[in-house]
Chain A
Amino acid sequence: MRTGASMTYELDQIEMREAYAGTLIEIAQKNSEVIALEADLMSAISTNKFKAACPDQFVNCGIMEANMVGVAAGLSLTGKIPYLHTFASFATRRAFDQLFISGAYAKLNIKILGSDAGVTSEHNGGTHMPFEDIGLVRIIPGATVIEVSDAAMLASMLRQVEQIYGIHYIRTIRKKAVKIYDEHTDFEIGKGKVLREGNDVTLIASGIMVAEALQTADILAKEGIGAAVIDMFTIKPIDRDLIIKYAARTGAIVTIENHNCINGLGSAVAEVLAEHAPTRLKRIGIDEQFGRVGTTDYLKEYYGLTKEHIARKTKELLGNR
């Protein structure tokens, strides 16, 4: 882990999709019960490499997400460990009842990778832009919801969920993320990662917004505001103790997510605060809007997800002291 002002915010060496395919090959080669499923997005997530390496453990289901989730359930019934991928919108919005009933209610073991998180679906636009996937899976009893912030974390999560029975939803972008962790970082599902200390405010972020939060802390530091930064990569179960601790320490919390403010990271944090540690809170995310077409940079600006917007909203919160 690299923390502090020296951080340079460079992109990872590898794309998230390469990390997915590469790590899954490694997992599958050790465990013949692991099966990778795709719904005609093999080329988009680089699992053509997986298919070449482990042809007997790969199934391209075609464009049938609902059936893919059901097939995964059937595979799990017989002891296999299915990892399925599709764009996050299709893994959750489209196949929600299948995930809910055939997956979770039936208490089966399915690992889901939802890709093209939020604004990073860029030129696929509003139809493909998942701002509600976290919320949909979060409301499923027993499901675990993870949003990864870089390739090292993605690899760690993929390896860890192989060992834990149940429904795991991992949200990711497909291309290069800002590198935050080195390959040997330990991550514990359910525990947030404190990346920077500060006493004036705590920025809690996930996914691509972690790098943005760190840069926001740089801006705030120049103005004499000490911002703690937490990578809350497990959105469910949320790290309640860490939230309470930093609420007490800083007295103000800002959540930052590339997702609808409703039922995402901000809601999860708000629920903890409201019940256990009422604290001034600002939720930054997508507010009552659908997706639209554009580059990630344009969309971050459009939806108010840049470090400048976050710094301004943080100061507004602190100004209301």
Chain B
Amino acid sequence: MGERRNYLEKFAGEIRLKVLKMLNHRGFGHYGGSLSIVEAIAVLYGEVLKIDPANPDWPERDYFILSKGHGGPALYAALALKGYFSPEILYTLNDNNTTLPSHPDRNLTKGVDMTTGSLGQGISAAVGVALSHKLSKRGNYTYTLVGDGELNEGQCWEAVQFAAHHKLHRLVVFIDDNKKQLDGFTKDICDPIDFQEKFNAFGFYALKVNGASVQEILSAIEEGKQQMEKPVAIILDSVKGQGVRYLEEKTDNHHIRPSKEDQQAIDAAIHELELTLREGII
């Protein structure tokens, strides 16, 4: 586990660094919710997913659908690091005529499995993929990641009921429980109360893990794979802006157009992250 963990932590660090650099280059973006999912993305693309970057459309692959589409930069960073496309392309994020729009588009970006960004919809598509695998008796897994704010959308709960009813046990739904949405704390806007209880009550096998721990995320996936009847929910106890102390503490961190002060802090974080990666501290 130790070696694997080191590798995944390093991969997460590289993803985080790319996210910061690409958003920095653009000058604005969804910092908070891209950073909060970095460890989950690192575990998926660093270890778990059965994929072939040289053959993005490989029919035998596992699918990953980023339902919270505004986390796109984290996905793009992982895809670039895995070799789906050149890391240079990351710096075209949101440029005119780019292949990297802020919200993922399956027709523009190699490795993106579904077009998402209208919240609540990616989870339904993931359920459809999982259903397809089940109908065709294929053993492939389907992963999706939804935001805690995204779970305001009623469609998510339609998808959850459907997945439980059809016993889609090879479906894993990550919930990025970073406790904030655009306008503030989720508990103030529409209190989710307790995702683990909710998902269990809806017929899932629900686990809660530290969203910043690659080891806990990996263990949860492995535990979830033991399930033969129920779809799996892995609640990531995460922090918006995760891994960059300054951004974690910033109140309004959903979409940031950095001020001078913000920029200095972000640049310092990039510098620090580069040093730690170079020196192999992580």
Contacts and interface: CB of A to CB of B under 8 A. Distances in A.
Contacts of A64: 155, 158, 161-162
B159 A75 contact: no
A79 B59 contact: yes
Interface string B120-153: 1111111111111101100000000000000000
A67 interface: yes
Contacts of A105: 105, 115
A67 B131 CA distance: 13
B95 to A, nearest CB: 20
B162 A62 contact: yes
A106 B112 CA distance: 11
Main secondary structure of the interface of A (DSSP, over half): helix
Interface residues of A, number: 28
A69 B59 CA distance: 22
Contacts of B115: 101-102, 105-106
A66 B125 CA distance: 11
Contact of A70 (B123, B133, B154): B123
Contacts of A70: 121-125, 127-128, 155, 159
B169 to A, nearest CB: 16
B87 interface: no
* A61, A67, A79, A101 pick with most chain B CB within 10 angstroms: A67
Interface string A50-79: 000000110101101011011111111111
B106 A74 contact: no
A71 B124 contact: yes
A106 B127 CA distance: 16
Nearest to B124: A70
Contact of B114 (A61, A80, A106): A106
B11 interface: no
A98 interface: yes
A67 B106 contact: no
A57 B154 CA distance: 27
B116 to A, nearest CB: 8
A35 interface: yes
Contacts of B106: 77, 106-107
Contact of B132 (A78, A97, A106): A78
B162 A74 contact: no
Nearest to A106: B115
* B123, B129, B130 pick with most chain A CB within 10 angstroms: B129
B219 interface: no
Given A101-B121, A102-B121, A77 B129 contact: yes
B155 A98 contact: yes
B192 interface: no
B98 interface: no
Given A64-B162, A67-B124, A75 B131 contact: yes
Nearest to A100: B118
Given A62-B158, A75-B131, 15 more contacts: A62-B162, A64-B158, A67-B127, A70-B122, A70-B124, A70-B155, A74-B127, A74-B132, A77-B125, A77-B129, A78-B59, A78-B132, A79-B59, A102-B121, A105-B105
17 contacts: A56-B135, A64-B161, A66-B121, A70-B125, A70-B159, A74-B132, A77-B125, A77-B128, A80-B135, A97-B121, A98-B118, A98-B155, A102-B115, A102-B118, A106-B114, A106-B115, A107-B107
